[in-house]
Amino acid sequence: MAEHLRTGAEGEQVACQWLEQQGYRILARNWRHGHLEVDIVARQGGTVVIVEVKTRRSDRYDGPADAVGPAKQRKLYRAAEAYLDALGEDVAVRFDIITVWMTGATPRIEHLEDAFYPTPDEETD
């Protein structure tokens, strides 16, 4: 496995464990629909949370607010629509970003809830 893929998988595992410690229930990891993928689908109460995980091995990168641009947001929105259709429930959805810094003995986590809201212009691509 390529190093960047291994790093990403480690970060997703850390993020899942952290979310569970915060009371989230993990519904899916690396959920795919066609070419779309969601790193983590979790549930917090009545809300389905779509989580994009960014793993860093250096502090030189931007934080989570800068890590997911408009094109990625559109893909996550479309993936969320497909997931909710498959779920068959009418539930609230939220888009979060978690950055995991693997720069010390203990990973550092930054969780940005409600990281973005798709607008009508973003919903169609």
Structural domain spans, the chain: 3-123
pLDDT of 19-31, one tens digit each?
Answer: 999 999 999 999 9
pLDDT at position 32 is 95
Residue type, 116: F
Radius of gyration of the chain (CA): 14
Residue 119: is it exposed, middle or buried by C-beta count within 10 angstroms (0-12/13-18/19+)? exposed
Contacts of 93 (CB under 8 A, 6+ apart): 47, 48, 49, 50, 80, 84
pLDDT at position 89 is 84
C-beta pairs of 28-32 under 8 Å, 24+ apart in sequence: 28/83, 31/79, 31/83
Residues of the chain with pLDDT under 70: 4-5, 59-65, 119-125
Pick the CATH number of 3-123 from 3.40.1350.10, 3.30.70.360, 3.40.50.970, 3.30.420.110: 3.40.1350.10
pLDDT at position 64 is 56
**pTM for this predicted structure:** 0.87
